Amino acid sequence: MTDNIFNAITDIQMSLQTAEHHLHHNNFSEQLHLSFALVTIARGSCSMVIRPDGTPGTTPFGQLHIPADRAVMKGNVSLGKDDFDMLAAKLRQPATRPISTMVKLDRSLTIDRDGVLFIEGPVEAAITNMFWVLPLK
């Protein structure tokens, strides 16, 4: 009989798969649409929309929705305009390895030793911090 070992995590590491910069000319707005493969959680992905409508230094600055019936998370993040522009510029640069991000949540998630996520129903969590790993060479 195998023992199930469970861990509580508040950080989710993700590897960037695609990035698009959407410009909406009628209302003069822009967004980054990103898709990620999950690293710390097995068998899943995340689609995220980042907007330049936030105030720098405020938390929480985003939301993450995890449905109970699908392995696709959805995130919305607000950044300050300068941070948004800097991120968009960095994402345009060619990278030798995949770009990754670490998303910090305001609540813990339960995973087993294989990284399988255990939730009883849909989860809504605030994104309280986010940092990026941008390969240089």
The model's confidence at residue 25, banded by pLDDT at 50, 70 and 90, is confident
**Which residue range forms the structural domain that includes residue 83?**
6-133
Inside any domain, residue 113: yes
Backbone phi, psi, residue 76, to 5°: -130, 130
Task: Decide if pLDDT at 121 tops 90.
Answer: yes
Number of domains in the chain: 1
Task: Decide if pLDDT at 130 tops 90.
Answer: yes
Q: What value does the mean pLDDT take over residues 113-132?
A: 92
Inside any domain, residue 1: no
Q: Could you report the per-residue pLDDT of 1-22, keeping only the tens digit for each?
A: 456 688 899 999 999 999 999 9
Inside any domain, residue 48: yes
Q: Could you report the per-residue pLDDT of 54-111, keeping only the tens digit for each?
A: 877 676 689 999 998 888 999 999 998 999 999 999 999 988 899 999 999 999 999 9
The pLDDT score that the predictor gives to residue 136 is 85
The pLDDT score that the predictor gives to residue 1 is 43
Q: What value does the mean pLDDT take over residues 20-27?
A: 86
Inside any domain, residue 35: yes
CA-closest candidate to residue 29, choices 52, 50, 47, 48 = 52
